[in-house]
A and B are shown apart, each in its own frame.
Chain A
Amino acid sequence: TQLLEQSPQFLSIQEGENLTVYCNSSSVFSSLQWYRQEPGEGPVLLVTVVTGGEVKKLKRLTFQFGDARKDSSLHITAAQPGDTGLYLCAGGSYKYIFGTGTRLKVLA
């Protein structure tokens, strides 16, 4: 059974700080996606990483896919209150499984 463990589970930081969220598995994934979900809404896709070692940037967000395609990380630079939300990694070739989630709160 494929599992995706995220760490940390919860993160509360001040505006302007940097942070990294990790998504780890013992299984190899053909691709991994990162989503952000706000309360009462469905997840919104942020990025898809496909190639081992790949790094993608989306404004202040940097995503990395591990060389072995078993893990990924999301780094946020100079976090803002608008970054607050539940961050989820997901993977799978057909049906996705979701990571355990990281709840981020950025304080003004």
Chain B
Amino acid sequence: GAVVSQHPSRVICKSGTSVKIECRSLDFQATTMFWYRQFPKQSLMLMATSNEGSKATYEQGVEKDKFLINHASLTLSTLTVTSAHPEDSSFYICSAARTESNYGYTFGSGTRLTVV
């Protein structure tokens, strides 16, 4: 149980275009999902907290107009990188917890974004 699916696993896009990444909880409901960014050989940095039915909460320094988050249902959150630039190239990972669980989060397998 507790499977989180992330799609796509890899995407290459041209500079200036937008890319949408999906995060789905397959066998449980998640009122909250989290989006992380990871640069090569570094740890995960929390970008934002996605709340079902309400606006996302962004961490300091993360541009909310650039990284649009939508959490329209209890099983799906999306992250859209708008007007992507090469410096947005990174590994993006989502995580989710069962609504009733207090122990750890399940992570998606990540999305490798390359902006050319």
Contacts and interface: CB of A to CB of B under 8 A. Distances in A.
Contacts of B6: 42
Given A41-B110, A95-B46, A96-B46, 9 more contacts: A31-B102, A31-B103, A33-B105, A42-B107, A42-B108, A48-B104, A88-B43, A101-B42, A101-B43
In the A-B complex, the 4 residue pairs with the closest CB atoms = A42-B107, A101-B43, A45-B104, A98-B44
Interface of A: 31, 33, 35, 40-45, 48, 50, 88, 94-101, 103
A24 to B, nearest CB: 14
B112 interface: yes
Nearest to B106: A45
A103 B41 contact: yes
A100 B43 CA distance: 5
Contacts of A42: 4, 6, 93, 95, 107-110
Given A43-B44, A103-B41, A96 B105 contact: yes
Interface class of chain A by DSSP: loop
Interface in B30-85: 32, 34, 36, 41-46, 49
B interface, size bucket: 20 to 34
Contacts of B105: 33, 45, 96
Nearest to A6: B43
Contacts, number: 51
A59 to B, nearest CB: 18
Interface of B: 4, 6, 32, 34, 36, 41-46, 49, 91, 93, 95, 102-110, 112
Nearest to B4: A42
A105 to B, nearest CB: 12
A44 B112 CA distance: 17
B40 to A, nearest CB: 10
Contacts of B43: 88, 98-101
Nearest to A43: B107
Nearest to A50: B103
Nearest to B45: A98
A40 B40 CA distance: 10
A22 to B, nearest CB: 15
